[in-house]
Amino acid sequence: MVMVMKIDTNRFMENISATQLLLLSGLLFLLPCSAYASCDELDRDTLLSLSFKAPLNWSASTDCCLWDGITCDPLDHRRVIRLWLPKRGLSGFVSSAITNLTRLTHLNLSHNSLLGSLPDDLLSSLPSLQVIDLSFNRLNGRFPPSSNGSSHLQIINLSSNFFNGTIPSSVLVPSISIFNVSNNSFSGSIPMSNGSNHASLTFFDLSFNDFTDTIPPGIGSCSKLQVFRAGFNGLSGSLPNEILNLADLQQLSLPVNSLSGHIGDGIVKLTNLKIIELYSNLFSGKIPSHIGNLSMLEKLLLHINNFTGPVPSSLTNCTNLSTLNLRINNLTGELSAFNFSTLQHLATLDLGNNNFNGELPQSLYSCKSLTAIRFASNQLTGEISPEIVALESLSYLSISTNNLTNVAGAFRILKVCKNLTTLVLSKNFLNEPLPDDKSLGDPVGFQSLKVFAIAGCQLTGQVPTMLAKVITLEVLDLSFNLITGSIPGWMGSLPNLFYVDLSNNLLGGGFPIAFCGMPVLITKEAGDMVDRSYLELPVFVMPNSATNQQYNQLSNLPPAIYLGNNSLTGSIPSEIGRLKYIHVLDLSYNNFTGNIPEQISNLTNLEKLDLSFNHLSGGIPASLGRLHFLSSFSVAYNGLQGLVPSGGQFDTFTNSSFEGNPGLCGFPTGKLSFPESPLPVVSTAQKSNTQGIFKALLFGISFGIFFGIGFGLGLNIDDKRIPFIAKRMMKT
Ligand SMILES: *[C@@H]1O[C@H](CO)[C@@H](O)[C@H](O)[C@H]1NC(C)=O
Ligand SMILES: *[C@@H]1O[C@H](CO)[C@@H](O)[C@H](O)[C@H]1NC(C)=O
Ligand SMILES: *[C@@H]1O[C@H](CO)[C@@H](O)[C@H](O)[C@H]1NC(C)=O
Ligand SMILES: *[C@@H]1O[C@H](CO)[C@@H](O)[C@H](O)[C@H]1NC(C)=O
Ligand SMILES: *[C@@H]1O[C@H](CO)[C@@H](O)[C@H](O)[C@H]1NC(C)=O
Ligand SMILES: *[C@@H]1O[C@H](CO)[C@@H](O)[C@H](O)[C@H]1NC(C)=O
Ligand SMILES: *[C@@H]1O[C@H](CO)[C@@H](O)[C@H](O)[C@H]1NC(C)=O
């Protein structure tokens, strides 16, 4: 083929006639007239005065129409019409000289490091401007007012900067089709005045700002609007009826505001809708019963509202649905009554934290695209059925806090799911025995599992040894059960394990030395190897303190060992000093004896250390003062003696960290003692001086952020109180 074409081209060249040649040379002769007429001098000088600090081939000795990023109008005295320099490493300010480029139609300086505010007359001085894209810079200040007269602006993108102040609604001139100011700090009302014409607007993005007030009814005049995004603001009131005029609307995205009222059945007339994101608002009432009319719907995100009633059965007609998130509402009804089987594209399903009852819906197991299912915190009953194995892509399953039964059956079935990485079954199976290996059959299983939580079930029996073969395991939570026996040493050799919670069980025996060899906790290299990718859905960790923690990424979980509230005995092995990358060590409420090993001071990443309520003796090693990240510390209720170390973080701990040790003295126990004299005789002068220092220290106590990861993935979830995660995206 290639050969043939080549020959044809040659033949074509040979066959060009003399007249054709003449014509061609005539054209070539004409071209230089325009190509080498130098650019407008004023425009050239203006460009040079912009002095963008970047390697551009802008040299005064060459024609500015040939410079990087410049396009001139060939028909109009070589005036500059386009300044197009995205991603060119530009820094510095946008000089007001730019307004001398009066013929400019296209301006794109996006993805640079431009600073400062924009010239006030930027838009009013450039009457021909059609496109302005300054997104992804570090610009601040106000939105520049536009000229009231004839504007040709079609695209305004100022997104991802640091702009603030209000946006006058006059900037939304009738010609605008794309308006994107997302990810700034704009405030005031949505710029849209009643009665004005926005018939060209197709993309309207105001998300991640501080806009307040209601959604203006003027939105109804945007008859071509396809995408409306205003999430992560302070909008209130209800959805205006005028929104029903937006027949072309494909995306309605208003999450994380204070919008309220009912959605209303009218929305089902907007049959082009693909994405509805209204999560984290105050909406109530029912999900529109005819939502099934929205046959294009791909994402329905209504979580964290106050919706009531059932999942409308018509939803089964939304066959393009890939994400359905209704978590944290007051929805009711028997889940098995809903027919999931038509939702062949459904990948993520979160119906957690509602009041659904009945058995797990059998029809779900024909949704072959499912990767994540979360039913946590409902009133579901029955058993996990073997059909679930048909969901070959299933990676995330959380059914914690329901009333499931037959834990042995659940293990036997789920261990076959090849791609299952997150399994949270906490608070079910009340009082059942953990299955032993024999009853589980083939020892190979759970071959991809990273997170395994089955806490708060009061399960009896021993730590299942089948877990010893789950080499992918990163996070294990067996807390709040009635597990007996000793801590198995094999846990110390699981290559990816970094978070173990065995607290609140009936475990006995000693602290296994093998446990001190957990690869991820002893070498940085092993820690770096762990694949801590994003979870399909977040896991919730109930800490000791009042706030819930939501984890979207496993890497945000602190490396931790929780063994509190068991019956462990013996001494804390000195080998514990090897667990260098551990952040939380909780051995409280056990029967440990002996000294606090000096080697703990080698755990330089430690943020929380709890050794309280044991029978430890001896002194508190002064070297613990080297633990600079330690923000929570307790050795209360042991038999410790001697002086409490001072300096470093120790100056921030209160007496509650040390109480219940009659032999301890020094700050902050309130008992004075000096190493020189075991029975201190302190002069009045010394005493008042010392007390003065104590007061000063107390006054200056800075309580570190309590690192309150307590127990139970998915346990006791009441995530209505979850603070809204990162209100705005990180800017770099
Ligand atoms: C500047 O660089 C561009 C390529 O980036 C080139 O096309 C143009 O001819 C150069 N202009 C001058 C005046 O060197
Ligand atoms: C500006 O340039 C960037 C980078 O090439 C591009 O992604 C963006 O679409 C351009 N803006 C407009 C409005 O065309
Ligand atoms: C607006 O710009 C942001 C980047 O700053 C982008 O993520 C978003 O998709 C844009 N919005 C629309 C509707 O195109
Ligand atoms: C949610 O709705 C129920 C009943 O409709 C009501 O009793 C409750 O107060 C509402 N909760 C909130 C937080 O608005
Ligand atoms: C689904 O759509 C079909 C035809 O459009 C309709 O007859 C049926 O009633 C709908 N199903 C539900 C549950 O709304
Ligand atoms: C141990 O149990 C006590 C009382 O039952 C409780 O206050 C404490 O928080 C528990 N400790 C841990 C580490 O869970
Ligand atoms: C702490 O670790 C260092 C090297 O990592 C080692 O030399 C030292 O002996 C350890 N100290 C204790 C008390 O274990």
Grade residue 541 by pLDDT with cuts at 50, 70 and 90: low
Q: What angle do CA 351, 355, 357 make, to 5 degrees?
A: 90
Q: Which CATH superfamily is domain 566-690 in?
A: Ribonuclease Inhibitor (3.80.10.10)
Grade residue 673 by pLDDT with cuts at 50, 70 and 90: low
Grade residue 550 by pLDDT with cuts at 50, 70 and 90: low
What is the residue type of 550?
Answer: Q
Grade residue 586 by pLDDT with cuts at 50, 70 and 90: very high
Q: Whose CA is nearest to atom 9 of ligand 7?
A: 599
The pLDDT, as a whole number, for residue 500 is 94
Extract the tokens encoding 487: 């801590």
Least confident residue range of 37-51, 221-235, 326-340, 503-517: 37-51
Q: 3-state class of 55 per DSSP?
A: coil
Least confident residue range of 178-187, 299-308, 676-685: 676-685
Q: What's the pTM value of the predicted model, to 2 decimals?
A: 0.83
- Give the single-character DSSP code of 540: E
318-331: per-residue pLDDT in tens?
999 999 999 999 99
Contact 331, 354 (CB under 8 A): yes
What strand order describes the sheet that includes 549-553?
549-553, 534-542, 711-713
Distance 588 CA to ligand 6 centre (A): 8
Q: 3-state class of 122 per DSSP?
A: coil
Grade residue 38 by pLDDT with cuts at 50, 70 and 90: confident
Is it the case that residue 147 has pLDDT exceeding 80?
no
Q: Whose CA is nearest to atom 9 of ligand 3?
A: 205
CA 486 to centroid of chain Cα atoms: 37
Q: Verify whether ligand 5 is closer than 6 Å to residue 293 (CB atom).
A: no
The pLDDT, as a whole number, for residue 498 is 92
366-377: per-residue pLDDT in tens?
999 999 999 999
Q: Verify whether ligand 5 is closer than 6 Å to residue 288 (CB atom).
A: no
Is it the case that residue 690 has pLDDT exceeding 90?
no
Strands 185-188 and 113-116: unpaired
Is it the case that residue 630 has pLDDT exceeding 80?
yes
The pLDDT, as a whole number, for residue 492 is 92
Distance 653 CA to ligand 6 centre (A): 20
**Could you tell me where the DSSP H helices lie in 645-724?**
684-699
Is it the case that residue 704 has pLDDT exceeding 90?
no
Which ligand gives the minimal distance to the CA of 68? Answer: 1
- Top-confidence residue, 248 or 551: 248
Token look-up 């994402």 returns 299
Is it the case that residue 18 has pLDDT exceeding 70?
no
Contact 426, 457 (CB under 8 A): yes
Q: Verify whether ligand 1 is closer than 6 Å to residue 62 (CB atom).
A: yes
Extract the tokens encoding 347: 């990948």
Calculate mean pLDDT across residues 9-25: 41
The pLDDT, as a whole number, for residue 5 is 34
Q: What angle do CA 380, 383, 388 make, to 5 degrees?
A: 100
Which ligand gives the minimal distance to the CA of 328? Answer: 4
- DSSP run (H or E) holding 334: strand 330-334
> Counting atoms of ligand 5 from 1, which one is nearest the CA of 313?
13
The pLDDT, as a whole number, for residue 315 is 97
47-79: per-residue pLDDT in tens?
998 878 788 889 888 899 999 999 999 887 789
Q: Whose CA is nearest to atom 12 of ligand 2?
A: 133
Q: Whose CA is nearest to atom 11 of ligand 2?
A: 133
Question: Which of 602, 603, 606, 627 gets mutated to test ligand 7 (max ligand atoms within 8 A of its CB)?
Answer: 602
Q: Rounded CA gap, 375 and 695, in Å?
A: 52
Is it the case that residue 409 has pLDDT exceeding 50?
yes
Contact 176, 152 (CB under 8 A): no
Contact 605, 584 (CB under 8 A): no
Rounded to 5 degrees, φ, ψ at 285 are: 80, -170
Calculate mean pLDDT across residues 283-291: 96
Which ligand gives the minimal distance to the CA of 133? Answer: 2
Strand-pair partners of 131: 106, 155
- Cβ atoms < 10 Å from Cβ of 255: 22
Bond preceding residue 519 cis, omega within 30 of 0:
no
Extract the tokens encoding 304: 């964290």
Q: Verify whether ligand 3 is closer than 6 Å to residue 182 (CB atom).
A: yes
Least confident residue range of 369-383, 384-398, 643-657, 717-731: 717-731
Distance 565 CA to ligand 6 centre (A): 6
User: Which segments within 502-629 are labelled E, that is strand?
Assistant: 534-542, 549-553, 560-562, 584-586, 593-594, 608-610, 615-618
Distance 300 CA to ligand 3 centre (A): 20
Q: What mean pLDDT, rounded, does the chain reach?
A: 84
Q: Verify whether ligand 5 is closer than 6 Å to residue 292 (CB atom).
A: yes
Is it the case that residue 671 has pLDDT exceeding 80?
no
Contact 347, 371 (CB under 8 A): yes
Question: Which of 283, 304, 306 gets mutated to test ligand 4 (max ligand atoms within 8 A of its CB)?
Answer: 306
- DSSP class per residue in 186-199: EEES-S--TT---T
Extract the tokens encoding 104: 């400019």
446-464: per-residue pLDDT in tens?
999 999 999 999 999 999 9
- Top-confidence residue, 725 or 37: 37
Q: Verify whether ligand 5 is closer than 6 Å to residue 316 (CB atom).
A: yes
Grade residue 540 by pLDDT with cuts at 50, 70 and 90: low
